[in-house]
A and B are shown apart, each in its own frame.
Chain A
Amino acid sequence: MRVQSNPEYCLGCGLCRLYCAAAHDGYDGNLLKAFKRGTPQPRADLIVRNDKSWLNTCRHCHNAPCINACLTGALQKDDQGIVFIDSQRCVGCFTCVMVCPFGHIQPSRDSYRVVKCDLCRDQKGIPACVSFCPNGALSLTEEVETR
């Protein structure tokens, strides 16, 4: 499972990133709380190239290089195939940041750990980026890349 972008209908508005940021780090989806009081950090990147734009986010690879590289076992795959990070175990070595072929995993802005897309697994629903995309350019797909 992963989030797929359709550049044909991506407006480049960036709402996906806003809602992504607010969906994590305990902001509970509250944009005002996240952006007025906190230091929200989106788990995905909006790429804009000429007249195309798309959301660059975790592929949740089979045989994911990040999991293989993780020293502490903080990066794991759950039974749905979602690659997620157990922050308690992350020591901030950033090996995963270096091995991710898509440049997706990022160091956290405020502590020695990394953050990444977890498909909003805590909310147990459609990821925030997908449900708030105003133009239906994002969707959840079962296709997973193998690395």
Chain B
Amino acid sequence: MTLSLLTPAFSVGRNEERCIRCGVCVNQCINQVHHLDEDGFMWVTEKNCVGCHRCAVLCPTQALTITRFPLDFRPNQYWSADSLREIYRQAESGGVLLTGMGNPRPYRSYFDHLLLNASQVTNPSIDPLREPMELTTYLGDHSAGLSEAEKPLLKLEIPVMFSAMSYGAVSLNVQKSLARAAREMVTYWNTGEGGLHDEVKEYADCTIVQVASGRFGVSPDYLNNAAAIEIKIGQGAKPGIGGHLPAEKVSPGVAQTRMIPAWSDAISPAPHHDIYSIEDLAQLIETIKVATDFQKPVAVKVAAVHNISAIASGIVRAGADIVAIDGFRGATGAAPLRIRDNIGIPIEMAIAQVDQRLRDEGIRPKASLVSAGGIRNSADVVKILALGADAVYIGTAALVALGCHLCQTCFTGRCNWGIATTDRQLSKRLNPEIGAMRAINLLKAWEHEIKEMMGGMGINAVDSLRGNRLMLKGIGLEQHELDLLGVSPAGA
């Protein structure tokens, strides 16, 4: 291949009146977009730019602007610029297109078509500054009768947890940031399938450890050094396929934590090879419960796929205490682009359907429902709880709080924000003290907002929001969509 047909995605603008040749952009861009030569001349290699904004944010004189490269194809509603570029890429590489983070396609977001209720006259709204407002949530199996022993539960002071993100996919400093924030806010962070590094073992009380198809880092010690265990069957960004941590991200630290050789590919198979059916899952759940002396709730995480209601019902009947469902907006460190963009269903539909199905079967109290994938703000949290979830996982939102700019190139391992990388130098860029503070701030802000919205509804405990679909009205939705969500249209 001689000439690449790919043109840059971004254009780097430099205001010469402002640039002081300090070189911060040069030393901060791992993609080597900026260059400063001995004569004080600055030039850029725009095709390397991924649009992460690291240089623009750190530029002390705001001399930089990053815009989309202004090169338009002849307008074509069907063959978009992206679809052409993807073909150029594949014609040059012969490979599967890789990408990172969640599905960015313009599919309908039901969150944006749901409106919340508030009290007026017939019912006083409650002011969270004056009255108690409770977000305390217990996740797990609530079905034990009062005369029986209570099943182990997870206590959350805010119904928002941090999604599974493995050490390897993200830097250890990300895990440290989230673990500290989880402890401070009384919620949980999740190790993902990457084992538990020594430096985060101290957070056992607010850690959910994951057991996935590669079984990386799993040992009795690992299972017991946690508040709960999550079996990952699939994730929203790439339902039906496994994981692949490229060798260049398997640093000695990652290797030790995952119990694999350094600088070797870490491949998680698509299925668990000991789970080919639901009864196999029941056995793994039981095995893990035995290994942890029935002291910890066991969660099962699945991607929201077409027959999610039946799958969730099976998972509950297999003995899971928590079912985590990851919608098609769920993110990842690396996924084939076609899979990320075309597989799965919206989390709003999945939660609405699963919640109703479990109720219809009379087994809803046997497990809590956690919604993952695409929760962007506190209103999304309130809406998904009203649809029936007990709590949410946030991954993308948490990473954005730590600095992620959603450039979707996590799979390269060269994250300028020190997030999706295991490179020592890059990892330094996320100081976990700052990261923890930012994650805590985000949760505190959401906590205030959730309380305000609940107070407006006249509700002072999150228990009364859960599954309270009367607090939702659909706007701009078709009747079949309203029926699936179990809500009535605005105005009705």
Direct contact of A and B (CB under 8 A): yes
Show the binding face of A for B, using Cβ within 8 Å: 8-15, 18-19, 31-32, 35-36, 51, 132, 134-137
- Rounded to whole angstroms, the CA-CA distance of A10 and B5 in the bound complex is 39
Q: What CA separation (Å) do A18 and B18 show in the bound complex?
A: 14
Q: For A31, what are the chain B residues with a Cβ–Cβ distance below 8 Å?
A: 20, 60-61
Question: What sequence of 0s and 1s flags, for each residue 46-68 of chain B, a beta carbon within 8 Å of any chain A beta carbon?
Answer: 00000000000010110000000
Task: Provide the bound-state CA to CA distance between A61 and B109, in Å.
Answer: 61
Q: Report whether B434 and A135 are in contact in the complex, using a CB–CB cutoff of 8 Å.
A: yes
Bound Cα distance from A15 to B27, whole angstroms: 11
Quick check: A51 and B425 within 8 Å, CB to CB? Answer: yes
Interfacial residues, chain B to chain A (CB-CB below 8 A): 17-18, 20-24, 27-28, 58, 60-61, 424-425, 428-431, 433-434
**Residue among B20, B21, B58, B433 facing the most chain A CB atoms (10 A cut-off):** B20
How distant is B440 from chain A, measured CB to nearest CB, in Å?
15
Residues of B within 8 A of A18 (CB): 20, 22, 24, 60
Q: Assess the A32–B20 pair: CB atoms within 8 A.
A: yes
- Cross-chain contact A11 with B20 (CB below 8 angstroms): no
Q: Please tell me if the beta carbons of A32 and B434 are within 8 angstroms of each other in the complex.
A: no
Asked if A32 meets B431 with Cβ closer than 8 Å, knowing A14-B24, A14-B27, the reply is: no
In terms of DSSP, what is the predominant structure of the interface of chain A? loop
Interfacial chain B residues near A9, Cβ < 8 Å = 428, 431
Q: Which residues of B contact A8 (CB under 8 A)?
A: 428
**Chain B interface helix/strand/loop/mixed:** loop
Q: Which residues of A contact B20 (CB under 8 A)?
A: 18, 31-32, 35-36
Q: CB < 8 Å: which of B60, B425, B428, B434 contacts A15?
A: B60
Chain A minimum-CB-distance residue to B57: A134
User: Which residues on A sit within 8 Å (CB–CB) of B17?
Assistant: 36
Contact B24 A15 (CB under 8 A): yes
CB pairs A–B below 8 angstroms (8 shown):
A9-B428, A10-B428, A12-B27, A14-B27, A51-B424, A135-B430, A136-B434, A137-B431
User: 6 other contacts beyond A9-B431, A14-B27, A32-B18, with CB at 8 A cut-off?
Assistant: A9-B428, A11-B27, A13-B27, A13-B28, A18-B20, A51-B425
How far is A10 from B428 in the complex, measured between Cα atoms in Å? 7
Please report the C-alpha to C-alpha distance between residue A13 and residue B60 in the assembled complex, in whole angstroms.
11
Shortest Cβ distance from B429 into A: residue: A11
Given A13-B27, A18-B22, A19-B60 in contact, is the A135-B431 Cβ separation under 8 Å?
A: yes
